[in-house]
Structure 1
């Protein structure tokens, strides 16, 4: 797909939508198995390595976009998060609208009120920017669908992913349920840097029903946002080795997903999580997102796994909070252990799961 194929010339076109309207979209957060960390210089949200994630149930953003025909030339945006106006969110959204205006020129003719809420803490390392920016991108595409009735579902989703990427890199993966790939990888057909795609290869049944229990160790917004962390990869002394390692791990994961080896899967995602945080800790300036209780949870999980032979493994995104992944067949005993042995280390537990059923794609963005 060519880079400019998402551009549509609306100049002198007669709108087929009312001058005022309301659109609502829901988008789920995702948890990366192979982590994306680092962007190309002088390019907008282009990753330096491919990544793959699961979209998550029960962890999502709902966005209500109110559009009103502009009477003046200046763009007006108001943002409400969980019922409270958030002027601090406006600069990022304005930047997003500026980036997508070439591909969605119709947005220049409207003012917007954005009402949004999460089912989880924002800016705490659970990909709130992924779910929020993808939900907003889906709302924008629903406006475009009103303008172009002939828009096909495949194009709708690809362009939504393309737009979401311009707001938050990992947001492009939240457009789809299931395993989703973003970033060009020579072993994955159709993978590219401009938008995400559903994972196209065989997946063993054990990986179609995975539980994800999220431990909220710290529910405060991160002091250092991911966007700043990505920039520190530009001069990182270990960056090249990290990108090479990520691509090799993707090759390993393709094989693991096919054969159904959960132990290999778990060890790989833990290695990826710790590698991500190793890069964060060795940046210049260096910093640390893990909290003492993050480490307490990790060590307790390791001890429990060794003693019980249970298939429970952790991963982390860019934050202190922990995702525990395990097969649904072991849910009863593992969940009981989590509440008895790990609850004291965290402020909240979110019982979630990895969305895999592609039938829900039909209703994913409605």
Structure 2
């Protein structure tokens, strides 16, 4: 069951396609009971990716890597794999509060957005940057370096939107309230030292990320200063999940 707003940039297709792929694999396993777990989950991730790239990371829980990387054993462009390192306590149960700035259908579909990267003047450098950032994130997740986690996460979010701003045709996916929220998060973090940051999908909505240890404090900040910038004051409280689960 998908309860996220559809096509607004907050992963409704990821959860939906992951659920569909798991159902397909359950049917295949019924026909082939000897199928091992590794094959089951790898193929489920592969099938999910055909429907939505983000879906291939939604099969297994916690931290999943999608994309071939020399430092991630077993990594592939075809399916997601579980992060092989030890996740530091600070990053367990990490919180994600999604501020619904615009619940309408996003201006540019993911498919069109991906196509814009063909012949994009900055695409190759962007791909190189992503590989470097993944190397850094691997170390950050293992050591609990929240400060540098924040820097990379926010840089990645803004770089995504910069690529859309400089594509042909070009698009502005953020709304005025998106920018206001970002500036207020920066101001709050600077004044209080609270390790809260933002990330963005391909739309106007803002994901507010923070450790579980500061949940009460950050939620109070969100309710006092940020909900006024959300459509109908709506937001979703989420956290790192366990991946696809079979319901009875």
Which of residues 219, 224, 235 is equivalent to 1:349?
A: 235
- Residue-by-residue CA offset, 1:147-202 (whole Å, 9 max, x unaligned): 11212222111111111111111211111110000110011111011111010112
Whether 2:27 is the aligned partner of 1:143: answer: yes
Distance 1:292 1:172 in 2: 32
Q: Runs of 5+ in structure 1 lacking a partner?
A: 1-61, 63-117
Tell me which protein shows more helix as a share of its residues: 2
C-alpha displacement of 1:223: 2.5
Q: Structure 2 unaligned runs (5+)?
A: none
Q: Is the 8 A contact 1:182 1:192 kept in 2?
A: yes
1:189-208 equivalence runs, <5 A = 189-208=73-92
What's the counterpart of residue 305 of structure 1?
189
| Higher relative contact order (CA closer than 8 Å, sequence separation 6+) | 2
SS at match of 2:114: helix
Q: Any residues of structure 2 matched to 1:1-366 within 5 Å, and which?
A: 62=1, 118-347=2-231, 348-355=234-241, 364-366=245-247
Q: In the TM superposition, what is the alpha-carbon distance from 1:213 to its structure 2 partner? A: 0.6
Larger Rg over CA atoms: 1
User: How big is the shift at 1:364?
Assistant: 2.6
The separation in 2 between residues aligned to 1:260 and 1:167, in whole angstroms, is 33
Of Structure 1 and Structure 2, which has the larger fraction of its residues in strand? Answer: 1
Q: CA shift at 1:209, angstroms?
A: 2.2
Which structure 1 residue ranges, 4+ long, deviate > 2 Å from structure 2? 363-366
TM-score by length of 1: 0.65
Partner of 1:28: none
Report if aligned partners of 2:173, 2:203 keep a CA contact under 8 Å in 1.
Answer: yes
1:177/1:364 contact within 8 Å kept: no
Query: Deviations 1:29-61 (Å, cap 9, x if unpaired)?
Result: xxxxxxxxxxxxxxxxxxxxxxxxxxxxxxxxx
| Range with greater deviation from structure 2 (150-159 or 123-132) | 150-159
**TM-score (normalizing by structure 2):** 0.96
Contact 1:314 1:325 in 2 (8 A): yes
Superposition RMSD in Å: 1.2
Q: Secondary structure at the match of 1:227?
A: helix
Instruction: Look up the SS of the partner of 1:364 in the other structure.
Output: coil
1:318–1:134 Cα change, 3 Å: same
